[in-house]
Structure formats: C-alpha cells, structure tokens
Amino acid sequence: MPSYTAPTRDARFIINEMLDLAGYADLPGFEAASVDVTDAVINEGGKFCAEVLAPLNQSGDQEGCTRHEDGSVTTPKGFKEAFDQFREAGWGTLSQPEEFGGQGMPHVLGFAFEEFVSSANQAFGMYPGLTNGAVSALLAKGSQEQKEKYLPKMISNEWTGTMNLTEPHCGTDLGMIRTKAEPQADGSYSITGTKIFISAGEHDMAENIIHLVLAKTPGAPDSSKGISLFVVPKFLVGDDGSIGERNGVVCGSIEHKMGIHGNATCVLNYDGAKGWLVGEENKGLAAMFIMMNAARLGVGVQGLSQAEVAYQNAVAYALDRRQGRALTGPAEPEAQADPIFVHPDVRRMLMDAKAFTEGMRALCLWGALQVDLTHKAKTEEEREQADMLIGLLTPVIKGYGTDKGYEVATNMQQVFGGHGYIEEWGMSQFVRDARIAQIYEGTNGVQAMDLCGRKLAQKGGAAIQAFFKVVGDDIADAKGDNTLAPMAEALEKALGQQQAATMWFMQNAMQNPNHLGAGAHHYMHIMGIVTLGWMWLRMAKVAQAALAAGGEDKAFYEGKVATARYYMDRYLPDAGALRRKLEAGSESLMALDEDAFATAA
Amino acid sequence: MPSYTAPTRDARFIINEMLDLAGYADLPGFEAASVDVTDAVINEGGKFCAEVLAPLNQSGDQEGCTRHEDGSVTTPKGFKEAFDQFREAGWGTLSQPEEFGGQGMPHVLGFAFEEFVSSANQAFGMYPGLTNGAVSALLAKGSQEQKEKYLPKMISNEWTGTMNLTEPHCGTDLGMIRTKAEPQADGSYSITGTKIFISAGEHDMAENIIHLVLAKTPGAPDSSKGISLFVVPKFLVGDDGSIGERNGVVCGSIEHKMGIHGNATCVLNYDGAKGWLVGEENKGLAAMFIMMNAARLGVGVQGLSQAEVAYQNAVAYALDRRQGRALTGPAEPEAQADPIFVHPDVRRMLMDAKAFTEGMRALCLWGALQVDLTHKAKTEEEREQADMLIGLLTPVIKGYGTDKGYEVATNMQQVFGGHGYIEEWGMSQFVRDARIAQIYEGTNGVQAMDLCGRKLAQKGGAAIQAFFKVVGDDIADAKGDNTLAPMAEALEKALGQQQAATMWFMQNAMQNPNHLGAGAHHYMHIMGIVTLGWMWLRMAKVAQAALAAGGEDKAFYEGKVATARYYMDRYLPDAGALRRKLEAGSESLMALDEDAFATAA
C-alpha cells in the first residue's frame, strides 16, 4: 500500500520563511497566526491527514460509492467515520469567518491543510472542498438570513455543500442551461431540471446537503445573462435551524469514472424542489464565479497534491528497488545491484517532481496570501494589487498546475516500471485521480482562454504589468548575489519570452482572435514556467540567507538552492519553444476544414 | 460506445505512394505485394478489425480476465470466438515465412494490420502479438526440429506464444534472474522458478501456449552472460505434433492493472516444467533481444494505435458537441452554439493528434520496410544500411512513439471535457491502455539508454551518421521546391539541434557518463521530433507531386501538405528546448543525495 507523510517542513518553510506570515500580524485574522500557531496547525493537520485520511485512499478507490434504489448513496467504508473526526477536530473551520463559527485564520493555513487532505485522499477531500466553494458563494451573495441559516452548519461540516452548474448538454457554455426556477407565492422558487457531474452530490456523511444551483427564471435572457443562483437544501431547514421535510432533489445515478471513485459524482434530478434566490435574479454567473474561483485554486492544489504523494512513493521505491549499476561504477558493490535511484533518468524524473511540487506549493500558498490580502491588506492599493495578481494567476495555478501535476504523477508511476501499472501499488490511482483536475471547474483550455482572453486585457493590461514588475524587481534584486545571479539571469530570459509572447498577442490578436485562441495554451504554460521560476528564485534567496546565517537544517537549505538551480536548467528552456509555437499563430492550425479530419477508408 | 474505422486510405498512401512498395517487386516476398494485393490486404484487414475486434474492446475492459482455482484463465466474452475468426482468416500468417505456413508478405503489411488490430482492441492484439515475438526468436535461434515442431501451429495461431523474462525482483536487470534450468538425462531441462507480468500467459483461446523462458543452468555466470533461453510448452508436444501431457507451469494469479484488462497478465509458476534449450547455453540474452526488438516495434505501434482511435472519437465529439461561439463570430448562427471544433484550442489538440498519428504511421511502416530490407535487400550495403537505421530507430519508435501516444490519447480525452472522465465514453480506456506501452518491453528510460548508450556509439557512430545523411539528403532535395523549402529549412534547424546534442554527448559523456544518462530522454525526444519531421517532409513531397499532377483526392493531399506545415510550426520548436536541457548536463540533476528526497516533517 502506498504511504504518505505530510511535507510539513516545506510548508512551514514557505509560510514562515518565504512568505513571513508573522510579518502580517497587524492585519485582521493574521494576529492569531503566530509562528507557533502556524506550526501547530500545519503539524497537527499533516498528522491527521496522514493517519486518518490516507489509509482510506486505496480502499476508497477500490470500493467506490454505491447508489441504492431510493437514490441514497453510501460512501466507501470508513469515510463517514473519518468525516466525523474531521468535523469534531474542526478542520473545516480553519479559514472561515468567526462570525459563522470559523476560526478566522488566514487562507494560507487553510490551503496548506487542503494540500495534505488532497494528497492523503483526494476523493474524500472533495466533500469538504465543495462545501467551501458553496460557503464562499453564500458569504459573498447570500442574504443575512441565508447566511445565518446555512453557514454555521456548513462551516462546522454538520452539513456539506455542492455546486450545480453542468447539464447533459452544457458545461462550459452555461448560457444554455435549461433548469427552470418558477417563482412561488411564498417567495421561494420551484426548481426543475437535471444537473450532472455533481461532486459530493449525495452521500451518507452529513445530515444535510446544501445545493447551490444555477437555473433560469421565466422570461430570462437566453444567454449567460439570464442565469440565477439558488440555494436548494436536500432537507428543508426550519427557521430554528431544524431539519424538515425532504426536498424534491434526488440522485438519479452515479457515474463510473476513471478515478476519484470515493467521491459520488451524481446526476441530480430536481423535480419542483424548493429553492431560494441567492443574490439578484439573472446575476447568477457572477455568484457562480465566486464559487468557481475558490474552486479553481482548490483544483490547482489537487494537481500539486497528487504529484506530491506520487513523488513520495516513487522516492521510496527508487531507493528500495535494485536494478543495474550506476553508470559511474557500482555504488554498492557488495549488493547484487544498485538502487535505481542511482540512474540519472530516474533521478531526472524525481528532480522534475521535486522542482514542481515545491515550486507549486510555494505558488499555491503565495496565492492564498493574495486571497487574504485582497480583503485584508491595509491600503486600497495593496488590496487591488493582490486582487489583480490572484485574478491573473488563478487560471495558471489551475491550468498549468494540473497539467504538470498529471505529468509528474505519470512520471512517478513510470519510476515503478511494470509495478506502476498494477493497481495494488497505488501509483495508477494517483494518475487516475490527478486526471480529473485538468478537466473540472473549467477545462484547462477554458483556463487558458480566461487568462489570455480576459485577464491579460483587463484594465488595459494592468495585472500583467503588475506581474512583470514584481517578478522583474525580484530578478533585479537577486542579481546582486553571486549564487542567485545566474538563476536570476536565466529567469530574466524566460520572462523575456513571456513578455515577447504578450507583445505578439497585442500586435496580432486584435486582427484575428484565433491567434489568441491558438496560442492561449502555450501562453498559460509559459506563464506557469516563469511563475514557478519566480517562486524558486524567492525560495533560493531565503535559503541562501539561512545558509549564510549558519544554524540548523543546512541540508534542507542546500537542497532548496540545488533544486532552484535544477529548475532553471530544466524547466525554463521550454518557455522559448512555447513562444515559438505561439508565434506560429493560427494559420496552419485552422487551415483544414472538418472533412480533412474524417478517417478515410 | 466509442467507434473505430481503420485509416486504410492513409496506410495505402504511405505504402503505395510514400514507400512505393511495388517498386521493390524484384525482392523475395515483395513480388506478391502488388498495389492490388496490398490494397486488398489493408482494406480487408481494416474491416476485420473494425467489425470483429473493436466491438469487444470496451466490454473486454469492463469484464477483464478471470482466473479459476485450477489456474485456468477465462478471457472476456467474445475473445475466443474472435480469435477463431482471426485464425480462420489467417491474419497471423501475413508476414511469416512460407516455409512454416506463412504468406511470406513484407512486414510492412503485417505492421499496417497490427496497428488496426491494436486500435480496435489492444488487449486482444497482444495474444497474437506476443506469439509473433516468440516466433521470431524460434525462427532465429531454434533448432530445425524445434522450428518444425512449434512454428507451423504458432504461425497458424492454433497455438500462441509468450515471452517470460521478468521475475518479482528483476525486470530490466535480467542478469539477476533466479529461475533454474537443470539438465535432464533425455536432453531436456527441468525449469523451476516464478515469472511475473507474463502477457497472454494463460488463456482459453488456443489449445496450447508455447512459453519462451529465460533461466539459468547450474554454474552459469552470475550476470546477463549466464542466462539461457528455453522453450516450455504448456502441453508437451509429441513428435507427431500431437498434444501430450500438461507441463509443470501454472498461472498462480493474474494482475489487476490500470488497463489492458482483456489481456491476462500472469504470474507463472514453473515447478520442474520440461523445457528445451533454444540456441546456445548462456546466450539467452541475444535470443531474448531478437524477441524484444520485434516486440519493441510492436509496442511503438501500440502508441500510435491508441492515439489514433482516441483521435477519431475526439474528432466525432468535437463536431457533435456544441458549446460557445467561434472567436471570429458565430459559425452556425441559427444554432444555439457552435460545435467545439471551431475553438482553436480544441483544433490545436486535434491537429497535434493528426500530425502525430500520420507521422508516426509513416515512421512505423518505413521501419517495417527496413526490417524487410535488412534480410532481403539486394546488396550487402543496402542490407547493412537498413539494419543500422532500424536498430537506431527501434528505441525511438518505442520510446518517443509511446510517450507521445499517451500524451495524444490524454489530450483526446480532454476534448471530451467531463464526459472524457466517464468510463462509458471509452476515452479513459484509451488512456489507460496507452499507458502500459511506455513501460513494458523496456521502460522508455531503458529505450533512451539503448539509443544513447549503445546505438549512437555502435561502429563509431556509423548508424547516426547514416541517419543524418538520409535526412539531410531529403532536406537538400526539398529545398528546390517552393512549397517544401520552408518546411525543409525548419527541419534542417531541428536536425541541427540534434547534431549539436550528439556532438555535446561526444565531447562530454566520456568524461562523465552521467551526462549521457541525464540527457538520454531528451535526446530520444529530439530524435523522435526530427524523425517524424522527416516523415512529414517525405509525405508532403509526395502529396505536392500528386497535387501538381492533378487527379483525384485533392483534399487528401492538401491535408497532407497543411498538416506537414503544422508539424513544422508546432512540433519542431521543442527540439531546441530539449537540446538546452540536455546541455545542462548532470550537475544539478545529480547534486542531491538521498536524504534530500526524504519528506521532512
């Protein structure tokens, strides 16, 4: 069975040393997040995930969820009890507002914990994960009454939440949804329609499920400007918070999927279910994007999480499995063969994984800090800067993070050779679970268009200019240090590739928007490469300073500097190739009509 | 359910027009392969695969194989009957020697058919596929008596064959095998040991299974120089060819795998099984490599095959599924949304797939021709040239072909969005089945080292120089044509990257072999990119000539030229980035010791 240890040392390095979370103690919510508290939360959270959730991961995959004739769903053995422990320990309350029973801690801590949960058991993590998405929409758009009615029990995880967007004929293009919401005399709406791919849509782990549902009111515009958001509880909730009668929403079936078997992916049939409008009519898309943006960051973390757990197991296997000899001569002559860890091609895969996971962890936690600063930074300018940066980088974290996460998980499976293909070893599950993250909450193609079609152009390019400035400043700063200078120069070149690609879009996409669409994927990957390079430069700087100061943990900091160097050697070169592909434009890409794609016999 | 149509038009284009198979009619075996015969074989073979094998692919995945208490194995419903049809139609005899009941046709035709089989049903295709590998070893190394006893029934597919290499503690490093072969008074050997991952190791589709088994005789050297090859039939075979008593080899269990569920991957327990030495004692490795090289080409074809069938289904979905609008304005204003085929990012994935599958098909069939020419070309010089080129390119076809095949299958699944993740649609199976091809018959890391550590250096680099010359000649030739010149120039640059990488290895790998190991994967991919580019240049030239000549099928030839252009735009740029990674050497890659890879809590 695969194993998992939460990478708490690395999380603490990023939070305490790179982000210096304690340095924000004068902001609301941050005052409680002292280094001691942070360390305790990270360490205890990591322990909980490794000890309670990870042991259920493989059995959950093998058993899956079962739907019964009455529409009820049983989750895999142990999930309910683990969720009880999760709830009792209050893990779901970490970064939620104190007003509704949360602990009000920075999102940075919530994100760090989310990674551990998802590495330990991604399918399990989606039950509280989706709840968080629903909570964020209600917090932003719900009425005070709705907040008071639903949020405390959702935040405490007595109840869970879902997001109901997709229908059989539409996912990305939500303007096409057909689910109807008919206004009733009592101010509620009668919701009727079919939603598919509803993660955590039905289960036996909580006493109620609060569905947030996109639907159309009568006469609403036939586009994304005509969709509204509704809260539809599985069981109606009395004014005193008591559980009332069963609402008209039933799980019609659950999907048989490639992975995340432990999560119930439901077809939900709404048949005159009672729902209440959240926010304004026809403004559902904006509310949906609040859930979606939170969810997208969470999905980016999933890309990291599967790469991380796969990496840990690949390292263990590479040190244990013996085949062949080191190219430079036997490393352990007394043994019949050397561990495969000595082979450069195995090391290449492990180093690729290490460079990705640690860089991606830094990016996710940096991103979580921006989420906090968007609301809590002292000045309007700081809040706006944080908002721009996280808006710009959300599709990169989701899109690049999950593309690479899947690639790394696949390579870690490769380290196992034939054993990687056998389900018993667990590596296949990491790959199969990682695969979904490239697809849901907006496919990575949608992320690329969000980045290039919306975010780049917003406010006259203010966000991308702000990004170029913060990265450029850190590069300029690092050039003064002998160790960091070569890395900074390499990163500067990659940043130059991104700037050139940005310029190419500006000069060409107006005249032909297909040029933008044809290069969006490449641009997202260039930006992912540059952004992780930036994180590595920041980590190397902190590590370099720690080494200069002497003190403990020398090997840890040396590892950071060496891995930063590896990242610059082996990741940055792709930026130039991607730019060349992007600059090829859409001509040869769109040249053929559909007949040319038919298989001719 | 997914669908499959054999791409017979493209196969015929490559065989008749690009390779001009009929032009070799003066060579033995080729005389029968007229254009008419070739077309008939391709068309009928494609039809058989699409009609008989493809309908069993998804059900075979869902049902898998079942092992019973007595060690017998039942294949999925319909497999046995389909194999009966396969046998009766004589599909397994296509490229086998007439002396043992084969049709003696060129391997080019056998390979073309193998692609169709594998696209239609990879798990099924492995039963005859492994048989071919075993046949090739017996043909090369078996005694006349062994050939006469086993080959006719294996070639007719009355019996199937297997390759028994891997043991629980060793796969790549075959010097470590423990299976013992004790000589007996009657000239046979008593074989005892455990073999794992034996594809098609036990099943109900044929009356006998001929295992080729690596084992050690008493006192054999404790290295790969001490292994011998044995033929071990499941049922002993009388001198008259009759089936005798059950031999001491039993299937102990079958593996639960990520994919290829329809193929029985067996643990085979040999307990004093009767076997006979094939070839010389202690020379088993050479015999094994004969099987292996044939098998590696077949695995490269699997990479192509899964990409192809996934591509076909993605095209159909992209034309059917409607979401959003073309960036340049509604393509079908009367419909509620445009087909997702209009979106450049979808088209990018489809074009990537088209460029890979057609280029890879050309490479595989060109490679099959080299296999034929190695034995049948008129002059020693031609035979040696073919032998060098196919030896050099076998690891590229296997390694690059399956890495890209998996990537393309994954991207085709991505075209389906959420539906791609649901097993019902079949896209997950293509990805799961494609995944094994990167692993078995030598992981792709082993392929990269075979290419860089063995093949590059052989005969003072004669093979790679021969490769540079044939590609360089075609580039020089194409520069004279206005349409082809820009493609030829782009390819020349990529070839220059490969030449520079080769030079870098020559200058650096002697002093530190880890530099070779650290760059081998990158080199293999550079060479894959260049080789497919070369194939595209050749295809574009033929297509260009056909267009100049006027005549039918204009759209087909225009598609070839446009896709060649796309390939040059979107595949070649990676060669430069890979060269830069390779030239980074092994310093940062090998910098960290094993402690640095431990997860610190």
Angle, helices A380-415 vs A344-376, to 10°: value is 160
Using 50, 70 and 90 to split pLDDT, how confident is the model at B290? confident
Domain count, chain B: 3
Give residues with Cβ within 8 angstroms of A216, minimum separation 6.
Answer: A177, A178, A179, A180, A181, A226, A227, A228
A80, exposed or middle or buried, with CB in 10 Å at 0-12, 13-18, 19+? middle
Give residues with Cβ within 8 angstroms of B88, minimum separation 6.
Answer: none
Whether residues B119 and B173 share a domain: the answer is no
Using 50, 70 and 90 to split pLDDT, how confident is the model at B334? very high
Q: Is the Cβ–Cβ distance between A592 and B559 less than 8 Å? A: yes
Using 50, 70 and 90 to split pLDDT, how confident is the model at B154? very high
Pairwise CA distance, residues B573 & A348, whole Å: 22
Catalytic residue list contains A441: yes
Residue B308, CA atoms < 13 Å, CB-side half-sphere: 32
Whether residues A317 and A433 share a domain: the answer is yes
Predicted confidence (pLDDT) at residue B601 exceeds the cutoff of 80:
no
Residue the block writes with tokens 């997001």: A163
Interval B531-542 mean pLDDT:
98
Pairwise CA distance, residues B451 & B527, whole Å: 10
Judge: A518–B171 Cβ closer than 8 Å, yes or no.
Answer: no
Give residues with Cβ within 8 angstroms of A81, minimum separation 6.
Answer: none
A320 touches chain B (CB under 8 A): no
B374 touches chain A (CB under 8 A): no
The residue of chain A with its CA nearest to that of B553 is A600
Whether residues B585 and B461 share a domain: the answer is yes
Residue-level pLDDT at B551 = 84
DSSP H/E element including A515: helix A513-548
Q: Is residue A594 one of the residues assigned to a domain?
A: no
By mean pLDDT, which of B71-80, B84-93, B547-556 is the weakest? B547-556
Pairwise CA distance, residues A49 & A117, whole Å: 5
Task: Tell me the nearest-neighbour CA distance from A556 into chain B, angstroms.
Answer: 7
Residue-level pLDDT at A19 = 98
Tokens matching residue A14:
């990023």
Three-state SS string across B260-284, please?
A: CCCCCEEEEEEEEEEEEEECCCCCH
Residue-level pLDDT at A403 = 98
Give the other-Cβ count within 10 Å of B391's Cβ. Answer: 18
Phi, psi of A310 (to 5 degrees): -65, -40
Task: Tell me the nearest-neighbour CA distance from B251 into chain A, angstroms.
Answer: 17
Considering Cα of B419, then A289, then A123, then A235, what sign does the dihedral take?
Answer: negative
**DSSP letter string over A217-269?**
-TT--SSGGG-EEEEEESEEE-TTS-EEEEPSEEEEEE--BSS-TTS-EEEEE
Whether residues B453 and B582 share a domain: the answer is yes
Residue-level pLDDT at A293 = 87
Phi, psi of A375 (to 5 degrees): -100, -30
Long-range Cβ pairs for the range A218-225 (8 Å, 24+): A218/A180, A218/A182, A218/A183, A220/A281, A220/A282, A221/A282, A222/A175, A222/B336, A223/A175, A224/A173, A224/A174, A224/A175, A224/A285, A225/A175, A225/A282, A225/A285
Whether residues B60 and B90 share a domain: the answer is yes
Give residues with Cβ within 8 angstroms of B458, minimum separation 6.
Answer: B388, B391
Q: Is residue B559 one of the residues assigned to a domain?
A: yes
Pairwise CA distance, residues B380 & A486, whole Å: 53
Whether residues B492 and B586 share a domain: the answer is yes
A454 touches chain B (CB under 8 A): no
3 state SS of A56: helix
Q: Is the Cβ–Cβ distance between B319 and B187 less than 8 Å? A: no
Q: Is the Cβ–Cβ distance between B152 and B178 less than 8 Å? A: no
Predicted confidence (pLDDT) at residue B531 exceeds the cutoff of 90:
yes
Domain CATH for B188: 2.40.110.20
Residue-level pLDDT at A288 = 86
Pairwise CA distance, residues B236 & B247, whole Å: 6
Q: Is residue A387 one of the residues assigned to a domain?
A: yes
Q: Is the Cβ–Cβ distance between A520 and A399 less than 8 Å? A: no
ipTM tops 0.95: yes
Domain CATH for A88: 1.10.540.10
Catalytic positions of B are 441
Q: What is the DSSP letter of A454?
A: I
Residue the block writes with tokens 């400043």: A473
- Low-confidence stretches of chain A (pLDDT < 50) are none
Interfacial B residues in 187-226 facing A (CB < 8 Å) = 196-197, 222
Pairwise CA distance, residues B386 & B374, whole Å: 5
Task: Write the pLDDT tens digit of every residue in B84-117.
Answer: 999 999 999 999 999 999 999 999 999 999 999 9
Burial letters B245-262, b for 16+ CB under 10 A, else e: eebbbbbeebbebbbbbb
Pairwise CA distance, residues B504 & B567, whole Å: 26
Whether residues B458 and B584 share a domain: the answer is yes
Cβ-nearest to A341 among B8, B328, B594: B594
CA A161 and chain centroid, separation: 18
Q: Which of A176, A428, A592, A595 to mutate to test the interface with B (most CBs of B within 10 A)?
A: A592
Q: Which domain holds residue B53?
A: 8-141
Q: Is the Cβ–Cβ distance between A259 and A185 less than 8 Å? A: no
Whether residues B165 and B278 share a domain: the answer is yes
Q: Is residue B133 one of the residues assigned to a domain?
A: yes
Give the other-Cβ count within 10 Å of B454's Cβ. Answer: 12
Judge: A431–B436 Cβ closer than 8 Å, yes or no.
Answer: no
| Selected catalytic residue, list A441, A492, A552, A594 | A441
Domain CATH for A383: 1.20.140.10
What one-letter code names the amino acid at A558? E
Q: Is residue B86 one of the residues assigned to a domain?
A: yes
Which of these, A213, A119, A112, lies nearest to A166 by C-alpha position?
Answer: A213
Judge: A414–B328 Cβ closer than 8 Å, yes or no.
Answer: no
Pairwise CA distance, residues B511 & B303, whole Å: 35
Q: Is residue B87 one of the residues assigned to a domain?
A: yes
Cβ-nearest to A570 among B418, B584, B599: B584
* Domain C-terminal end among A141, A176, A201: A141
Q: Is the Cβ–Cβ distance between B430 and B332 less than 8 Å? A: no
Q: Is the Cβ–Cβ distance between A136 and A393 less than 8 Å? A: no
Q: Is residue B260 one of the residues assigned to a domain?
A: yes
* Domain C-terminal end among B251, B282, B313: B282
Considering Cα of B5, then B11, then B17, then B18, what sign does the dihedral take?
Answer: positive
Q: What is the DSSP letter of B599?
A: P
Whether residues A118 and A72 share a domain: the answer is yes
Task: Tell me the nearest-neighbour CA distance from A522 into chain B, angstroms.
Answer: 10
Q: Is the Cβ–Cβ distance between A394 and A366 less than 8 Å? A: no
The residue of chain A with its CA nearest to that of B318 is A594
Instruction: Tell which wins on pLDDT, A540 or B285.
Output: A540
**How big, in percent rounded to 5, are the helix, strand and coil portions of chain A?**
60, 10, 25
Whether residues A342 and A397 share a domain: the answer is yes
Judge: B445–A414 Cβ closer than 8 Å, yes or no.
Answer: yes
* Domain C-terminal end among B83, B108, B141: B141
Q: Is residue B266 one of the residues assigned to a domain?
A: yes
B63-B64-B68-B71 Cα dihedral, nearest 10 degrees: 160
Whether residues A191 and A178 share a domain: the answer is yes
Which of these, B348, B456, B356, B358, lies nearest to B400 by C-alpha position?
Answer: B356
Whether residues B61 and B188 share a domain: the answer is no
Tokens matching residue B84:
């009966």
Task: Tell me the nearest-neighbour CA distance from A491 into chain B, angstroms.
Answer: 14
The residue of chain A with its CA nearest to that of B427 is A258
